[in-house]
């Protein structure tokens, strides 16, 4: 565990080491001029995104997992769609539509004969706009994890609450939400980390945050040390966030007690609230996916002849392969880490797990540099050693290879896998481990025959989240990739940042569509095991999934 | 308890498989790049769409294979520095002079003397010691709404700080390299103190906090949010030649004004190329530079991206012709790199977001 975390921490260590270098005059210049803006904007952004993703994610998760209304089955997967939409793409798209010169405002002006200054229209490129953009594409993290949690929640808990006279709303707020808290926090943490790491959106919207500051210091002032020092402060931010969160629930644990998984009794919503539920779920789906995807589609129709060719399909293939390899690697490592933590369950192992997952909140660029420098130093050292002793030059072994790219992805995205698997583990009561061990199971048998089957949903979720994240990932690829290697995200970004949004639309839509495949696959698999377990439960009412798997495998 | 030994064993296996995966994939990639054919490895800050077609033509003409990585200028520079003498890159292409200047200072470039090219490219657009060469020119110009602004009201960048333009100017963020270069040229011409004063008044004239790209500034002028904007000429060119009729209509509603024609001349930046110190294919690299500065390639920059050629006497596109001739600033562009750092700090002090 120490070895893996140490390996994963190489880039972070590289960055934190900068704190021990002298603070240059560039840093004091930043501190006296713009640092205040970076801090306040980043905090406001986080606050807004935290509230937005919580409200959207949790409410939709509840509606689709615990209630019944027309279209629920469609919303179950449709609500995941915005996840395939990179934040910078949605930002460009909405700006194109809602900006002062965009079709919406132009129409209003022409229709009402208004001029600039005659009317008020929300400024899309602002802090508020950025918050809305992030909420629209990041709420699925909360939705996905919380929904899994609601489904895995002990329904006896909810039934007790109802039988004690609480209505659905009260049950929701006083039982379901507190019990789903680890999942909610996990989802929100992911969303917030992604927000902190974003560069494309905030840069385009002219909101100066830590990330834009890091880039500015590096690119504008050419001072990579000061940029790394800024990143370290960002890292402190994130660490503080995690510590506060852990403290606040230090002794609270919610494990599903004995009879965990009975089929939820979905409560049917009748009358006008039915339409309200449909409407509510439609909001994120249409604004986070349908509308921007529709706009992209319109652009693709106008430009596809210039952009879709054989080279384009190569892009799809390379993006897909990269995402698949990374997500499997992340999943394997995350299972190993979480399982070790489960076995050891010490403060040290908890700390290691946190350190291993710090990478997610750092901008991809920072991670990439953190990988680039030590890898190149390693390569050059090996080369020098070989030349000295055997007179062979090995050149660069790792730098500029796909291995470096994938390693950087793992550092950045393993947090996603860890968070998801951990929230799954939180629901497996430790007494199950004890029973298995008492019955003579060795640790690896505990993992393979007890934990993995019980974690199935969480594992799939983790796999999907990383897959989509890698598809969207940009700066890491840009900085570390080998010659003649291109991905969809790079193509989309290069064109979009050159303000050729229409030409970027093919690649952007392809990211969205490729992202859809695993989303659909996953949503099918999430609902499948339940349907299979249903007849079993009917035939042996007292037995539940976890006991089943124990019984079958022991 | 078997737990600890089991854990260690399990993780050892995992770590080993991770590392072997890294190595295997690196070997696959390495074997791909070691072909027998003559080749040249390019690190380019110019985006793929704006350089690949030319590189393909080079391959067609010379048979030399071109391997390409595109990224941001500073990222490529960091990569060059980290990889040191083992870097696979033979040439570095950037979209501004600042990065070339930094690369030279970082010691990752080498000086090459190519008399054939030196005679083609004016002295202010290449490094005095032959470390880098300009390939195309981009100018930062003023665009204005003719129904609200008369050309006679406009004169120079400096004059945009006058009270007359209060809340009437649009310009993008100070994070943008072209704005940094513009301010760097001011510092080079007028010194830091004067530039500081100018910046304060100039920033007070902004119609809105800077956001969006250069095209967005042009759109804002047309929409009436501001009356003048400072943008790179090729963005206006791109809009005029867009496949999207709406963009063409918007671009046709503004006019281009060449600033500072009675003073230093319009601010110019270059996109340029340099041979790296670690270059293993120096001959091919020089051949590539020669090719990119040939009349045929120089024409391409104008036709595809509305940039001006660095070589005089080359045929330019109709859009460029329509903007007429102008006086360009003769400041050696390496000064822009030199003053970039001071420019960013001055912009921070003035509160230019």
Question: Nearest-CA residue of chain B relative to A446?
Answer: B3
pLDDT of res. B326:
92
Out of A14-28, A193-207, A485-499, B77-91, least confident range: A14-28
Do the chains contact at A219 and B47, CB–CB below 8 Å?
no
pLDDT of res. A46:
92
pLDDT of res. B3:
46
pLDDT of res. B134:
94
Query: Considering only CB atoms, which chain B residues are within 8 Å of A10?
Result: none
A398 to chain B, minimum CA–CA distance in Å?
Answer: 6
- Region B114-139: mean pLDDT is 90
Percent of chain A past pLDDT 70, that is, above it, reads: 88
Residue A261 has pLDDT above 70, yes or no: no
Residue B139 has pLDDT above 80, yes or no: yes
Q: Is B53 on the interface with A (CB under 8 A)?
A: no
Query: Considering only CB atoms, which chain A residues are within 8 Å of B180?
Result: 220
Residue A254 lies in a domain: no
Question: Nearest-CA residue of chain B relative to A366?
Answer: B75
Do the chains contact at B49 and A503, CB–CB below 8 Å?
yes
Q: How confident is the model at residue A538 (pLDDT cuts 50, 70, 90)?
A: very low
- Region A362-379: mean pLDDT is 84
Residue of A443 and A385 predicted with greater confidence:
A385
Give Cβ neighbours of residue A402 (< 8 Å, ≥ 6 apart): A322, A481, A482, A485, B25, B26, B28, B29
pLDDT of res. A220:
67
Closest among A344, A239, A325, A466 to A1, alpha carbons compared = A344
Residue A544 has pLDDT above 50, yes or no: no
Same fold, B36-137+270-315 and B138-267+327-350: yes
Best-predicted range by mean pLDDT among A357-371, B24-38, B185-199? B185-199
CB A382 within 8 A of CB A482: no
Do the chains contact at B348 and A101, CB–CB below 8 Å?
no
pLDDT of res. B21:
62
Q: Is B20 on the interface with A (CB under 8 A)?
A: no
Do the chains contact at A400 and B70, CB–CB below 8 Å?
no
CATH code: domain of residue A334:
1.10.3720.10
- Which tokens belong to A495? 């064109």
Residue A253 has pLDDT above 90, yes or no: no
Residue A340 structural domain: 2-249+264-553
CA distance from start to end of chain B: 61
Beta strands in A232-376, from DSSP E residues, in sequence order: 267-268
Best-predicted range by mean pLDDT among A154-168, A298-312, A335-349, B75-89? B75-89
Residue of A212 and B310 predicted with greater confidence:
B310
Q: Cα torsion at B189, B193, B194, B195 (round to 10°)?
A: 70
Question: Nearest-CA residue of chain B relative to A105?
Answer: B223
Q: What are phi and psi of B105, to 5 degrees?
A: -65, -35
- Secondary structure class of A250 (helix, strand, coil): coil
Closest among B351, B336, B348, B344 to B189, alpha carbons compared = B336
CA distance A337 to A427: 17
Residue A238 has pLDDT above 90, yes or no: no
Residue A424 lies in a domain: yes
User: Element (H or E) spanning B69, and its range?
Assistant: strand B65-70
Do the chains contact at A369 and B243, CB–CB below 8 Å?
no
Out of A71-85, A170-184, A381-395, least confident range: A170-184
Chain B segment 135-164 residues within 8 A of A by beta carbon are none
CA distance A28 to A25: 5
Mutation site for A-interface testing, chosen from B212, B219, B229 by largest number of A Cβ within 10 Å: B212
pLDDT of res. B111:
94
Residue of A155 and A175 predicted with greater confidence:
A175
pLDDT of res. A129:
92
Residue A340 has pLDDT above 70, yes or no: yes
- Region A203-230: mean pLDDT is 80
Residue B334 has pLDDT above 60, yes or no: yes
Chain B segment 222-261 residues within 8 A of A by beta carbon are 222-225, 235, 238, 243-244, 250
Residue A207 has pLDDT above 90, yes or no: no
Residue A528 has pLDDT above 60, yes or no: no
Q: How confident is the model at residue A123 (pLDDT cuts 50, 70, 90)?
A: confident
Question: Nearest-CA residue of chain A relative to B65?
Answer: A484
Domain positions in chain B are 36-137+270-315, 138-267+327-350
Q: Is domain B138-267+327-350 annotated with CATH 3.40.190.10?
A: yes
Do the chains contact at A344 and B22, CB–CB below 8 Å?
no
Q: What are phi and psi of A389, to 5 degrees?
A: -95, -40
Do the chains contact at B177 and A219, CB–CB below 8 Å?
yes
Do the chains contact at A3 and B12, CB–CB below 8 Å?
yes
Q: How confident is the model at residue A530 (pLDDT cuts 50, 70, 90)?
A: very low
Residue A258 lies in a domain: no
Do the chains contact at A29 and B345, CB–CB below 8 Å?
yes
Nearest to B353 among A208, A443, A495 (CB): A208
B263 to chain A, minimum CA–CA distance in Å?
Answer: 27
Q: What is the pTM of this model?
A: 0.80
Percent of chain B past pLDDT 90, that is, above it, reads: 61
- Region A144-157: mean pLDDT is 77
Do the chains contact at A206 and B225, CB–CB below 8 Å?
no
Do the chains contact at B11 and A3, CB–CB below 8 Å?
yes
- Region A487-514: mean pLDDT is 83
CA distance A248 to A242: 10
- Region A260-279: mean pLDDT is 74
Mutation site for B-interface testing, chosen from A2, A33, A206, A364 by largest number of B Cβ within 10 Å: A206
Residue A286 has pLDDT above 50, yes or no: yes
Query: Considering only CB atoms, which chain A residues are within 8 Å of B214?
Result: 499
Residue B247 has pLDDT above 80, yes or no: yes
pLDDT of res. B20:
61
Residue A483 lies in a domain: yes
Mutation site for A-interface testing, chosen from B6, B12, B26 by largest number of A Cβ within 10 Å: B26
Residue A259 lies in a domain: no
- Which tokens belong to A155? 């329904």
A120 to chain B, minimum CA–CA distance in Å?
Answer: 13
- Region A2-13: mean pLDDT is 80
Do the chains contact at A206 and B72, CB–CB below 8 Å?
no
Q: Domain B36-137+270-315 class?
A: alpha beta
User: Element (H or E) spanning A130, and its range?
Assistant: helix A127-152
CA distance A302 to A322: 29
- Region B274-289: mean pLDDT is 94
B342 to chain A, minimum CA–CA distance in Å?
Answer: 8
The burial of B261, by beta-carbon neighbours within 10 Å (0-12 exposed, 13-18 middle, 19 or more buried), is given as middle
Query: Considering only CB atoms, which chain A residues are within 8 Å of B250?
Result: 101
pLDDT of res. B279:
93
Residue A257 lies in a domain: no
Do the chains contact at A4 and B250, CB–CB below 8 Å?
no
Out of A294-303, A360-369, B142-151, least confident range: A360-369
- Region A38-57: mean pLDDT is 93
- Region A99-120: mean pLDDT is 77
Out of A278-282, B25-29, B258-262, least confident range: B25-29
Residue A396 has pLDDT above 60, yes or no: yes
Nearest to A206 among B83, B210, B220 (CB): B210
Do the chains contact at A483 and B69, CB–CB below 8 Å?
yes
pLDDT of res. A256:
53
Do the chains contact at B244 and A1, CB–CB below 8 Å?
no
Calculate the average pLDDT of chain A: 80
Chain B segment 81-110 residues within 8 A of A by beta carbon are 82-88, 102
- Region A395-419: mean pLDDT is 88
DSSP state of B266: B
pLDDT of res. B4:
47
Residue A39 has pLDDT above 50, yes or no: yes
Residue B145 has pLDDT above 50, yes or no: yes
- Region B313-339: mean pLDDT is 90
CA angle A27, A33, A36 (to 5 degrees): 95
Question: Nearest-CA residue of chain A relative to B71?
Answer: A478
Calculate the average pLDDT of chain B: 88
pLDDT of res. A531:
39
- Region A526-551: mean pLDDT is 37
pLDDT of res. B23:
56
Largest Cα separation within chain A, whole Å, is 82
CA distance A382 to B23: 14
Question: Nearest-CA residue of chain B relative to A307?
Answer: B49
CA distance B294 to B300: 10
Q: Is B30 on the interface with A (CB under 8 A)?
A: yes
Residue B113 has pLDDT above 60, yes or no: yes
Q: How many domains does the structure of chain A reveal?
A: 1
Q: Is B26 on the interface with A (CB under 8 A)?
A: yes
């Amino acid at each position: 565990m120490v070895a893996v975390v140490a390996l994963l921490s190489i880039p972070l260590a590289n960055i934190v080491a900068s704190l021990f270098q002298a603070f240059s005059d560039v840093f004091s210049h930043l501190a006296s001029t713009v640092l205040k803006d970076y801090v306040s904007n980043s905090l406001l952004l986080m606050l807004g995104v935290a509230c937005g993703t919580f409200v959207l994610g949790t409410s939709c998760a509840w509606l689709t997992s615990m209630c019944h209304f027309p279209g629920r089955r469609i919303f179950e997967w449709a609500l995941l769609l915005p996840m395939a939409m990179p934040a910078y793409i949605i930002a460009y798209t909405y700006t194109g539509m809602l900006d002062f010169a965009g079709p919406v405002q132009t129409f209003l002006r022409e229709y009402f004969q208004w001029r600039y200054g005659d009317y008020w229209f929300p400024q899309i490129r602002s802090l508020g706009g950025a918050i809305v953009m992030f909420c629209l594409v990041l709420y699925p993290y909360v939705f996905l994890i919380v929904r899994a949690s609601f489904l895995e929640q002990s329904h006896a808990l909810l039934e007790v609450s109802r039988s004690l006279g609480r209505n659905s709303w009260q049950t929701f707020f006083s039982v379901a939400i507190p019990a789903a808290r680890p999942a909610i926090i996990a989802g929100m943490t992911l969303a917030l980390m992604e927000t902190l790491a974003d560069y494309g959106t905030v840069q385009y919207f002219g909101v100066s945050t830590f990330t834009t500051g890091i880039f500015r210091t590096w690119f504008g002032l050419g001072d990579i040390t000061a940029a790394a020092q800024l990143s370290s402060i960002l890292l402190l931010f994130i660490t503080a966030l995690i510590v506060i969160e852990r403290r606040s629930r230090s002794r609270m644990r919610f494990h599903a007690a004995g009879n965990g998984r009975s089929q939820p009794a979905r409560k049917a919503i009748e009358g006008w609230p039915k339409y309200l539920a449909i409407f509510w779920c439609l909001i994120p789906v249409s604004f986070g996916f349908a509308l921007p995807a529709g706009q992209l589609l319109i652009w693709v129709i106008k430009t596809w002849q210039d952009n879709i060719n054989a080279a384009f399909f190569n892009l799809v293939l390379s993006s897909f392969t990269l995402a698949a390899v990374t997500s499997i690697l992340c999943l394997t490592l995350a299972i190993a880490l979480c399982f070790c933590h489960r076995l050891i369950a010490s403060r040290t192992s908890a700390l290691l797990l946190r350190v291993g997952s710090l990478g997610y909140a750092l901008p991809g660029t920072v991670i990439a540099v953190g990988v680039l420098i030590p890898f190149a130093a390693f390569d050059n050292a090996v080369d020098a050693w070989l030349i000295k002793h055997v007179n062979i030059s090995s050149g660069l072994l790792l730098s500029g290879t796909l291995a470096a790219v994938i390693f950087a992805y793992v550092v950045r995205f393993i947090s996603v896998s860890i968070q998801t698997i951990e929230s799954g583990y939180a629901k497996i009561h430790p007494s199950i481990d004890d029973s298995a061990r008492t019955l003579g199971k060795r640790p690896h048998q505990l993992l393979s025959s007890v934990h993995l089957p019980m974690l199935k949903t969480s594992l799939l979720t983790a796999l999907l989240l990383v897959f989509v994240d890698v598809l969207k990932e940009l700066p890491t690829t840009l900085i570390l990739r080998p010659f003649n290697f291109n991905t969809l995200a790079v193509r989309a970004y290069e064109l979009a940042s050159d303000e050729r949004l229409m030409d970027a639309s093919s690649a952007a839509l392809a990211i969205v569509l490729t992202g859809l495949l695993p989303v659909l696959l996953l949503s099918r698999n999430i609902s499948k095991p339940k349907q299979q377990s249903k007849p079993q439960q009917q035939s042996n009412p007292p037995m539940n999934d976890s006991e089943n798997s124990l019984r079958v495998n022991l | 308890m078997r737990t600890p030994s089991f854990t260690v064993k399990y993780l050892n296996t995992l770590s080993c498989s991770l590392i072997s995966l890294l190595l295997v994939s690196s070997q696959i990639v390495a074997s791909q790049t070691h072909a027998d054919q003559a080749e040249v490895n390019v690190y380019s800050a110019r985006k793929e769409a704006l350089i690949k077609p030319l590189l393909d033509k080079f391959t067609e003409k010379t048979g030399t294979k071109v391997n390409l990585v595109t990224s941001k200028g500073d990222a490529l520079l960091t990569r060059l520095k980290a990889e040191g003498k083992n870097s696979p890159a033979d040439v570095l292409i950037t979209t501004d002079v600042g990065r070339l200047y930094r690369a030279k200072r970082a010691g990752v470039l080498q000086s090459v003397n190519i008399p054939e090219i030196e005679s083609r490219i004016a002295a202010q657009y290449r490094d005095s010691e032959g470390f880098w060469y300009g390939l195309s020119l981009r100018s930062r110009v003023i665009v204005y709404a003719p129904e609200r602004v008369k050309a006679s009201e406009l004169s120079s960048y400096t004059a945009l700080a006058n009270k007359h333009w209060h809340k009437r100017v649009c310009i993008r963020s100070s994070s943008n390299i072209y704005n940094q270069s513009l301010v760097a040229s001011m510092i080079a011409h007028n010194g830091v103190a004067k530039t500081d004063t100018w910046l304060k008044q100039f920033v007070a004239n902004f119609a809105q906090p800077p956001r969006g790209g250069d095209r967005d500034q042009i759109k804002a002028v047309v929409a009436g949010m501001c009356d003048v904007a400072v943008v790179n000429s090729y963005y206006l060119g791109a809009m005029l030649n867009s496949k999207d009729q709406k963009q063409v209509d918007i671009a046709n509603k503004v006019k281009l004004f060449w600033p500072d024609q009675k003073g230093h001349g319009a601010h110019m930046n270059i996109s340029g190329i340099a041979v790296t110190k670690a270059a293993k294919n120096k001959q091919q690299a020089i051949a590539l530079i020669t090719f990119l500065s040939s009349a045929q390639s120089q024409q391409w920059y104008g036709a595809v991206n509305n940039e001006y050629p660095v070589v005089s006497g080359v045929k330019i596109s109709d859009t460029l012709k329509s903007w007429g001739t102008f006086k360009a600033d003769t400041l050696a562009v390496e000064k822009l790199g030199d003053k970039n750092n001071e420019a960013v700090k001055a912009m921070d002090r003035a509160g230019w977001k």
